[in-house]
């Protein structure tokens, strides 16, 4: 009997008390809350980093486009000196430039830039009708600089679209989509030109 009594007392003593049970549960709850909080912080920071990369990539495109816009007045003035009566072509370039400068957002900007590229192609085509224009050093230098800028724009555009793709995917997949909408992470537009022909620099051969 003494042995049975001792066993009963031992079992009773080994059982967790209500206070101890509540303490252990509270500890696990705190651990779970900390893990969830860390996960949320990591996901939020990943969204912020991608959004910053998108903004930075768009700023790079903007820099290159502004270089292009700044070049156009000098180009028009140079052509005007040898083909002043090509007024419609020259005015079309200036009008397209002004429209591109006032465009807002990637979609509107892409459409306006496509129109500007088309106008520039018409401008450079004048060199075929005016051979003396090809001999003008300032014209060839401007054309070369413009080609370099076009290449930089296309490289910046490809990088921007790649980052936008990653960002848009991130805000739509689980579990980061749970944070995206409440914290104002919205889809971004791609900077895509209307057709492949508009993606090419408005180059012209001087041979």
Mutual angle of helices 87-102 and 18-80, in 10-degree steps: 160
Number of folded domains that form the chain:
1
CATH number at residue 189: 1.20.1440.20
Asked if residue 8 belongs to a domain, the reply is no
Q: What are all long-range contacts of 152-158, with beta carbons under 8 Å and residues at least 24 apart?
A: 152/64, 152/67, 153/61, 153/64, 153/65, 153/68, 154/199, 154/201, 156/57, 156/60, 156/61, 156/64, 157/61, 157/191
Asked if residue 90 belongs to a domain, the reply is yes
pLDDT at residue 8 in the model: 46
User: What letter would DSSP give residue 189?
Assistant: -
Question: pLDDT by residue (tens digit) across 109-140?
Answer: 999 999 999 999 999 888 888 888 877 888 88
Asked if residue 5 belongs to a domain, the reply is no
Asked if residue 38 belongs to a domain, the reply is no
Question: pLDDT by residue (tens digit) across 7-48?
Answer: 445 544 555 566 566 777 778 888 888 998 999 999 999 999
Question: pLDDT by residue (tens digit) across 134-162?
Answer: 778 888 899 899 999 999 999 999 999 99
Tokens 């000098």 correspond to 74
């Amino acid at each position: 009997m003494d042995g049975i009594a001792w066993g009963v007392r031992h079992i009773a003593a080994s059982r967790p008390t209500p206070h101890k049970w509540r303490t252990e549960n509270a500890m696990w709850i705190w651990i779970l809350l900390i893990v969830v909080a860390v996960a949320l912080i990591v996901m939020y920071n990943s969204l912020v980093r991608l959004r910053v990369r998108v903004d930075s990539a768009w700023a790079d495109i903007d820099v290159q486009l502004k270089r292009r816009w700044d070049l156009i007045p000098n180009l028009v003035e140079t052509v005007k000196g040898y083909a002043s009566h090509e007024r419609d072509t020259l005015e079309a370039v200036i009008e397209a430039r002004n429209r591109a400068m006032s465009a807002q957002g990637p979609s509107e900007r892409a459409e306006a830039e496509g129109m500007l590229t088309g106008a520039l192609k018409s401008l450079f085509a004048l060199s075929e009708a005016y051979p003396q224009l090809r001999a003008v050093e300032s014209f060839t230098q401007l054309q070369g600089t413009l080609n370099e800028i076009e290449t930089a724009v296309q490289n910046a555009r490809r990088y921007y679209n790649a980052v936008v793709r990653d960002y848009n995917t991130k805000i739509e997949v689980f579990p980061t989509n749970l944070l995206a909408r409440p914290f104002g992470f919205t889809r971004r537009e791609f900077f895509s030109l209307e057709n492949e022909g508009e993606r090419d620099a408005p180059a012209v051969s001087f041979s």
